[in-house]
Amino acid sequence: MMQNVYTVAQVNSYIKNMFTQDFMMQSLFVKGEVSNCKYHSSGHIYFTLKDEKGTISCVMFAGNRSGLAFRMKEGQQVVVGGAVDVYERDGKYQLYARQIVLDGAGLLYERYEKLKEELEERGMFDPCYKQPVPKYIEKLGVVTAATGAAVRDIINIAARRNPYVQIVLYPAVVQGEQAVPSIVRGIRTLERFGVDVMIVGRGGGSIEDLWAFNEEAVAQAIFDCSVPIISAVGHETDTTIADYVADLRAPTPSAAAELAVYEYRQFEEMLGEYKYTLERLFRNKLDLCRGRLENLGLKLKYLSPAGQIREKRTYALKLEERIEKAMADVLTAKRHLLEVYIERLKGLSPLDKLKQGFSYVSDEEGRTVASIRTAEIGKNLRVHVRDGIITAKTLCKESMEWEQKERN
């Protein structure tokens, strides 16, 4: 008779419990090639991890997608971190992924994420600490390997964009055990030298090759540097701690040179445009000032004392002419009136009367004798005629009533 008969569910539950109690199965990393990768509409990812000797089914639930920084594709070599457990319904074990990184990142990626989180908490990535990169520089500092494509690209592009920029190279070790202290010394040396901006970086490579730029000492040196630093590590897809701390990140060393060095030809063209604009504005301003000066000259000419004096002098001359004419007219009128009066006086003049046969009688003392009453008998009288005086003696007086006769 059979003993200890178990159901399928009991067996699956027992096996599941075995996996649950095994600490190693609850937190392990498995390396392999991705196959049968499917992104479900629910957000879950189902895939198979395989190598040359076996396969294992894997699933990453939507709630753990934050542990995946790229889109998985068939044939990729990855390292999956998670727990191995049994799906009781099917009686199959599978790897429940919590984190997936490309192969080669592994433990270094964990260190990278840990340091990144720590430095971010310390505020070293905060934009408020980023220094602006000057637009126009004279001295460019470069911390990289003395040989290799990176330094050649930087020198060629910088010389092409502006041949007058001085490039100061610190030949640093960028890979291996001596890389970190060498890069730190290079940053501090060029800072003391007084460069305007600094490029720190190297050419592309694996995460191991670029690891020196993920070390805290290099990040701290970049953060403490008073000179703006452009990081240029690897290719565009490579991102290091140095990129987060630097004042500006360039995807490649070539791009860093373009960001650091202004193009002299473009600068000349800009100066030419500024010169043309300034000359045009100056000409316009000069024309405006000249017009205002002419207007002010006209006003000054009109309001100047000399002009006013000439105007007043002309006015005075005209008044003088008018006065002379008026005086001449008055003199002519008065002369004519005088002539009239003279003619009238001539009619009343005693001399004219004398010329007409009339005479004028006075006594010896020159008093006029106009009546017989003023003439005395025996006294001499002086009879004034036209051409002389006749002395006569009064012998008798005879009264005649001339006025009464004239009335009658």
Concatenate the DSSP letters of all residues of 24-52 into one string. Answer: HHHSEEEEEEEEEEEE-TTS-EEEEEEET
The pLDDT assigned to 191 comes to: 94
Pick the closest to residue 100 from 15, 34, 50 (CA basis). Answer: 34
Q: How far is CA 377 from CA 140, 147, 380, 394, in A?
A: 154, 171, 9, 5
Confidence grade of residue 350 (pLDDT, cut at 50, 70, 90): low
Report whether 105 contacts 81 (CB < 8 A).
no
Model-level pTM? 0.51
Going across the sheet that includes 360-363, the strands are 360-363, 380-385, 388-393
- Rounded (to 5) percent helix, strand, coil in the chain: 50, 20, 30
> What percent of the chain is modeled with pLDDT above 70?
92
Of residues 16 and 217, the one with the higher pLDDT is 217
At residue 381, the 3 state secondary structure works out as strand
| Section 21-43 average pLDDT | 87
Question: How big is the chain by its Cα radius of gyration, in Å?
Answer: 66
What architecture is domain 8-103?
Beta Barrel (2.40)
Report whether 231 contacts 201 (CB < 8 A).
yes
Report whether 140 contacts 261 (CB < 8 A).
yes
pLDDT in tens, 42-98: 999 999 999 888 899 999 999 888 888 888 888 888 889 999 888 878 888 899 999
Report whether 235 contacts 210 (CB < 8 A).
no
At residue 391, the 3 state secondary structure works out as strand
Contacts of 112 (CB under 8 A, 6+ apart): 105, 207, 214, 241
Give bridge partners of residue 232 from the DSSP assignment. Answer: 201
At residue 60, the 3 state secondary structure works out as strand
- What is the distance between the alpha carbons of residues 216 and 363, in angstroms, rounded to a whole number? 159
The pLDDT assigned to 113 comes to: 80
What architecture is domain 126-262?
3-Layer(aba) Sandwich (3.40)
Report whether 219 contacts 247 (CB < 8 A).
no
Burial of 96 (0-12, 13-18, 19+ CB in 10 A): middle
| Section 144-155 average pLDDT | 90
Report whether 131 contacts 187 (CB < 8 A).
no
Taken in order 255, 260, 264, 267, is the CA torsion positive or negative?
positive
Which alpha helices (DSSP H) does 138-246 contain, by range?
149-161, 179-193, 216-224, 241-245
List, as one string, the DSSP characters of 257-313: HHHHS--HHHHHHHHHHHHHHHHHHHHHHHHHHHHHHHHHHHHHHHHSHHHHHHHHH
pLDDT in tens, 208-222: 788 899 999 999 999
| Section 361-365 average pLDDT | 78
| pLDDT > 70? residue 341 | yes
Hey, which of 121-135, 226-240, 354-368, 383-397 has the most confident mean pLDDT? 121-135
| Section 231-246 average pLDDT | 87
Looking from the CA of 371 toward its CB, the CA atoms found within 13 Å total: 5
Taken in order 353, 354, 359, 361, is the CA torsion positive or negative?
positive
Stated as kind and residue range, the H or E segment containing 58 is: strand 54-60
| pLDDT > 60? residue 372 | yes
Q: How far is CA 238 from CA 26, 100, 208, 228, 385, in A?
A: 31, 17, 12, 21, 156
Contacts of 120 (CB under 8 A, 6+ apart): 244
Pull the structure tokens for residue 13.
Answer: 């539950």
Of residues 126 and 379, the one with the higher pLDDT is 126
- What is the distance between the alpha carbons of residues 128 and 105, in angstroms, rounded to a whole number? 31
